[in-house]
Structure formats: C-alpha cells, structure tokens
A and B are shown apart, each in its own frame.
Chain A
Amino acid sequence: MLGGGGGNLSRFRDTLPAVEAQVRAAQRGDPLAMDRLLTELAPWVARICAAIALDQGEDAMQETLIVVLRNLPALREPAAWRAWVRRIAVREALRMTQDDRVVAMPDPPEVTFSADLDTAIDVRDTLRKLPAGQRAVLVLRNLEDLSEQETAEVLGVPEGTVKSRLHRAQQGFRDHWEER
C-alpha cells in the first residue's frame, strides 16, 4: 500500500473502487451484489443519517438503504451513485425527525465553521440542540462538503435559506459548544 493513512483509511481505499461495479451488478437484480453494496454504503449513509436524525439514525439508514435498493434500476448513471444516495439519505433522515423548521433571516456575513472536529467528542449533544433542518445543512456543508447551491438542491430549498440556516446552525453550534 502506497502512502500514509491509518488502517481504517486503507481499508476504505481498497473498497471504494468497487462501489460502482457493485451498483451495476445490483441493478441487474443480483441479491448478493445488493448485499455487498450495503457493506459499501452503510458506513457513509450511517454518518449522514445519524448526524441528522440522531437517535433515529439507524431507522433513517434502514429506510434509506431500502429506497436505494428498490430504486436502483431507475438510476441511469451508476457513476453518479454518490449524489443520488446522498439525496435519499438526507430526505429520509429529515423525514424521520419530522422536524423541518425553517427560520428565514437576511443573508449573514461570512462565518467560518471552525469547530475542531478532531477533538469533538460530544458533537452529538451539541447537535441535539439544533433543529433537524439546521443539522442537515451542517452535515451537507461540513461533513459532505457540498457548496451552498448543491446543499440547496439536495434539500429542495432556496440558496438563501441554506445560507441563513447555516449561519444559525453555526451560531447555535458554537453557542451550545461553548456552554457545554
């Protein structure tokens, strides 16, 4: 194995190229390929679902994976599986929380999200204090690294809403983080 990275990372490296092939095989209705696809997708889907739906993360993940497997034949470009699965995961996680409060406010000044994630142990408790809609924005912008426009597309809301939610979420996250 070339290059650095911990054991966990190198494992991921080995499996990553397999995903597209698994998607194609699963599209043809091969149950074993579907099962292998679950192995590939689960850790990543779990991270998205758990960060948004928190305690219902596992239910959200289960629903996501069901929707993914059922609709695989409709995915025309297997290479684009990641964006497609992400969209489903976010939707299912939000649905699970049934909590989609949107607070409109004017565009905020540029704020950088600077929580040092490497040392964050109780991110979960901090996230719990935010509404699910804000958690979703945080997840997509910071965990999934999407642009504001892409985040807006995934959530089906205007870009301005993403901006304001992100601002609130970061503000809220920081406030809760400091008072923890």
Chain B
Amino acid sequence: MTRSPAGRSRPVHVVGGGIAGLVAAITAADDGAPVILHEASRQVGGRALGRSDWAGVNLGPHVVLTDGALVRWLAARNIQIGLRRPALRGLRLLAEEGPAAQVRVKLRLAATVTASQAPVDESFREWADSVFGTATSELMCRLAGLFTFHHDPGTLSARFVWDRYRRVFIHPHRVRMVAGGWSALAGALAGRAAARGVRIETGDKVTMVPDGPVVVATRLEAASRLLGRELRWPGARTALMDVAASPSRRGWPSTVIDVRGDLRTCCLIDRITATFPDLLGNRGPELFQAQLGISHHTSRADAAARIESTFDEAATGWRERVIWQRSLTLTGATGAVDPPGATWQDRPAIDQGDDRFLAGDAVAAPGLLSEVAVNSGIDAARRALQARRHRVFAPGWPQADLTPARRLAVLAAALPGASITTADHPASENHPWSLEPVDQTGPGYRLAMRAGILRGEAASPQPGDIYKTVLAWNRLPGLAGRLVSHWLARRWKK
C-alpha cells in the first residue's frame, strides 16, 4: 500500500542513498518515524554501488572489522550480509628492507608497543621516527596506505594514523571481506529500509532543503551546495585497478603489499577470488583489485603503470592472461583523513543547525573508513529524531510523574516472587532514612542489587509523615524465593 505524503506528517528526510543515508533512514524508521529517502541517481547505494560495467565488480576492495560499528549495527538488526576472512596465507610483502618475514615481525612488534596515544599535533612520520626509529617508521608510514588510501600517510596526524594502525594490525583476525562488496551491503540495507516503510525516491535530485528534520548524507561538495555553506575536509586521491585473468597453474599470492622505496605509501593487490573462489564462476577467471594512494599531480596513466609494476613483481605472467582490465582514480571517495592538529571531532559537524544534520564518511564521527559513514548515519538520524520529537512534543500537554513509590510498584509487579510493603514513619530530624537524592534517579529513591538480592526503597513525604515503600526480590525461584523476599521486605520496612 502506498501512503500519501500528506498522511505522513513531519517526516525525517534523508538526502543521499549511500551507506550513511541508508543507515540513517533505517535508524529513523526503526524508531517509528516516517522517513523519505531522496536519491539523485536511479538506484540507492551511492558510491557503494561502484560501476558495474563488468560482471558487477565493485570499486576497490571492501573490508570491514568485526569489532566495528558497521558489523555491530547490522548484527543488532539481524541484517544478513556475507562476511569472510580474507585468505591471507598467500600474503606477499614487496619490500627492500630485507626478508619479508623479518619485516613482518618488526611491524607486528611495533603495533603492540603500548605507546597507546599518539599526539594529534605531530605528523605520524615525526612521531613514529622518535618512537620506533626511522627505518621502522618509514615502513609503517607506507603501510598506513592500506587504510588511509593516501599517497603519503606519514604526513597525516599521528593520532589519526596510529589509532587505525593499531586496530588493523593488532587484530588482523577481525578483518572480513564483504561478499558481493559494498553493493551487496547497499542492497541489504535498501531491502531493510523498504521493509521498514522508508519511502525511497530515486531519480530525485534535491536542490532545496526539505522542511523538517533533514539528514544530508551526500558527499561534502553536494552538501555544501545544498546547505549553502562551505563544508570541506581533506580526503585522499586513490588509483584503482581491477584485473580479471585466467587462472595460472603456478598460483598467485592472495594479497600483495608493495612497500618498495619509490613509494611513500603502499600499493595493495587483493586477489578477491582467493577469498571468494566462485565469484566469477566455478573455475572461472581470477579477480584482482588493486589500490594505490596518489598525489594530485600523478596522472592516471602513471598510477596505472605503478600498479602494474607491482603486478609484474608479484604475479608473474599475469599480462598474458588478462581477460578484462580497468583503471580509474577516485578523489575524496575513500573517507576523511585528518591532518596534524585535527581529529575527527574537527571535521564538518553532524549538527548543522536548523534541524539539518550531516552524515557520510567525511564528517565528525569516529571510526575507520566506512564506520565513519555508519556512525554518522546513526548519530544524524538520532539527532533528526530528537529534533522531530521536539517539534512534535510541545509544552502544554498534560503531564504525569512516575513517583518513586509507583516505580517500585511497577518493578514489584514485573519481578516474579517480589515482595513490596509500605509503612508510615513519623518525619523527624533524626529519622535514619534519608530523603536526599541518592543517585540520578531522583530524591527519595534507592535501588541496589547485592548477592542476588534486590533492595528498593522509596520515600514520599506526607505532612508529618514519611510514607516508605520497600521492595525485596531475590533470584531463588518459586515459594522459597517468595518467602525470602517477604521476610526481607518486612525487615527493611522498619
């Protein structure tokens, strides 16, 4: 059944149907708000969709961490996506610093160093030089390209790089690849949004900010235009190359990390079919996806040549076996990077005033890469809901209070075997039972659990009296539990 717009008063509008927008829309809809999602293109998914010009191959490798916001949020909502541990057995490190095994040990040690916080104001290179020595530091700077997509991660804020470095390298077992890439995720999210009653308007390019709480979940440039203000944050420029090649009998590594000295970052190649063998059909071609952070002066051709040199080194004979190949560059599409002196809190704020909220991977939300989009989507949606509720709940309507005594009565009725009793006490200065607030729950209320026994007390002052309510409950089942509660309640009443 379609609902008329008039029938859904004061909806939450979400502009942009990427990961952040979809997360925001579902979060708001789960809360019971009517939601309209405006997506300029023909289908939702945003950048997540990539361009499916060949066999539905997504843009770039898609990795999540199991302890991250995205995985937790999906699990809490029982939204199913396929996650698989990357096949790391065939990992190959191209380095000049010595045998790969030695380099790896060095880096693992570096990651576990408990210099837990890195400074915000220094660059990662400066800080890592002083902590780990220049040789290790240089390698670490390059490896940070894995999760920053930046051409020179050493120039970024030490705090920014180190926080991410530790998450990725201390717990590599938490890394998962998303089956079907981001487009599968976007599909699952769009399905849930539709099931939650989100009205998805595709082909709807929003040029004026809709009235009511709005989550703007577009790229920053589009958000700037829409909101009429400058919203900027540094991002990375990244070259991507996808290669499909007929399988080689000699076997290719599953992952190649090229940290050779001509780079200030690293070039990563993932053999996606090592993790998802049937991706391009049973015994079908192998799919490689490569990424390399590049500066604004590097041409696409130079970037492609550099990526190919990594292929040459790690996957001998690949050129003869290529079936399909594409290369492209992305600017500001791989998430925010924080320069020295800045943290994620300094990025464009989620709350832009006037009930307008930003979401996306370059706004003020914590997390690694896509987690920023998820966290900001959730946060923006909650703020939008709050704004909506504030508009809706105006003062003037009748109010009621949950008094401490009523509150205990509710708990007593809900807890099987609980016992509740009341007594009058003369209000005197020496009365042992205080009416002072004992915690944030307010004055005259106390609730504590010790050794499996719940003790609740509430006091309501009456003229000349204190009306005292006592609740007792314990974990023992059945009659025994009830008798114990009863006995405790009578004892505490005095």
* Chain A residues close to B by CB (< 8 Å): 2-5, 9, 12-13, 16-17, 20, 31-32, 34-35, 38-39, 42, 46-47, 49-51, 54, 57-58, 60-62, 65-66, 69-70, 77, 79-80, 82-83, 86, 110, 117-121, 123-124, 127, 141-149
Q: Are B3 and A51 in contact (CB under 8 A)?
A: no
Interface CB pairs A-B, < 8 A, 14: A2-B350, A16-B382, A32-B449, A34-B411, A34-B414, A35-B407, A38-B410, A51-B398, A58-B402, A65-B410, A70-B413, A145-B10, A147-B9, A149-B1
Interface: B201 (CB within 8 A): no
Separation in Å of the B8 CB from the closest CB of chain A?
A: 5
- Binary per-residue interface labels of chain B (321-358) against chain A in the complex, 1 for a CB within 8 Å, 0 otherwise: 00000000000000000000000000001111100000
Given contacts A2-B351, A149-B3, contact A66 B394 (CB under 8 A): no
A149-B1, A149-B3 known, 7 other contacts, Cβ within 8 Å: A32-B447, A35-B456, A38-B402, A58-B403, A66-B410, A117-B394, A149-B7
Q: Are A35 and B447 in contact (CB under 8 A)?
A: yes
From A2, A39, A147, give the contact of B7 (CB < 8 A): A147
Question: Which residues of chain B from 376 to 396 have any CB-CB distance to chain A below 8 Å in the complex?
Answer: 382-383, 385-386, 388-390, 392-396
Separation in Å of the B111 CB from the closest CB of chain A?
A: 31
Q: Are B411 and A124 in contact (CB under 8 A)?
A: no
On chain B, the residues within 8 Å of A118 by CB distance are 394-396
Q: Are A47 and B397 in contact (CB under 8 A)?
A: yes
- Closest partner residue, chain B, to A124 (CB atom): B398
From A54, A79, A121, A148, give the contact of B396 (CB < 8 A): A121
From B7, B33, B398, B473, give the contact of A148 (CB < 8 A): B7
A-B contact count (CB 8 A): 147
* Chief secondary structure at chain B's binding surface: loop
A142 to B31, CA, bound (A): 17
Separation in Å of the A136 CB from the closest CB of chain B?
A: 13
Given contacts A110-B6, A144-B392, A147-B7, contact A57 B400 (CB under 8 A): yes
Separation in Å of the B358 CB from the closest CB of chain A?
A: 10
Q: Are A145 and B7 in contact (CB under 8 A)?
A: no
Q: Are A46 and B473 in contact (CB under 8 A)?
A: no
A19 to B360, CA, bound (A): 24
* Chief secondary structure at chain A's binding surface: helix
From B9, B78, B349, B395, give the contact of A2 (CB < 8 A): B349
Q: Are B9 and A69 in contact (CB under 8 A)?
A: no
Given contacts A66-B410, A142-B392, A143-B392, contact A47 B447 (CB under 8 A): no
Q: Are A145 and B9 in contact (CB under 8 A)?
A: yes
* Chain B residues close to A by CB (< 8 Å): 1, 3, 6-10, 30-34, 76-78, 349-353, 364, 382-383, 385-386, 388-390, 392-403, 406-407, 409-411, 413-415, 440-441, 447, 449, 454, 456, 473
Given contacts A13-B386, A38-B407, A119-B396, contact A69 B414 (CB under 8 A): yes
On chain B, the residues within 8 Å of A13 by CB distance are 382-383, 386
Q: Are A117 and B397 in contact (CB under 8 A)?
A: yes
- Closest partner residue, chain B, to A113 (CB atom): B9
Q: Are A31 and B398 in contact (CB under 8 A)?
A: no
From A42, A121, A127, A148, give the contact of B402 (CB < 8 A): A42
On chain A, the residues within 8 Å of B3 by CB distance are 147, 149
- Closest partner residue, chain B, to A142 (CB atom): B392
A119 to B398, CA, bound (A): 14
Q: Are B415 and A31 in contact (CB under 8 A)?
A: yes
Separation in Å of the A100 CB from the closest CB of chain B?
A: 19
Separation in Å of the A3 CB from the closest CB of chain B?
A: 3
Q: Are A120 and B406 in contact (CB under 8 A)?
A: no
A174 to B237, CA, bound (A): 60
Separation in Å of the A122 CB from the closest CB of chain B?
A: 8
Given contacts A31-B415, A86-B32, contact A145 B398 (CB under 8 A): no
Q: Are A50 and B398 in contact (CB under 8 A)?
A: yes
Q: Are A9 and B9 in contact (CB under 8 A)?
A: no
Separation in Å of the A99 CB from the closest CB of chain B?
A: 16
From A12, A65, A127, give the contact of B386 (CB < 8 A): A12
On chain A, the residues within 8 Å of B77 by CB distance are 79
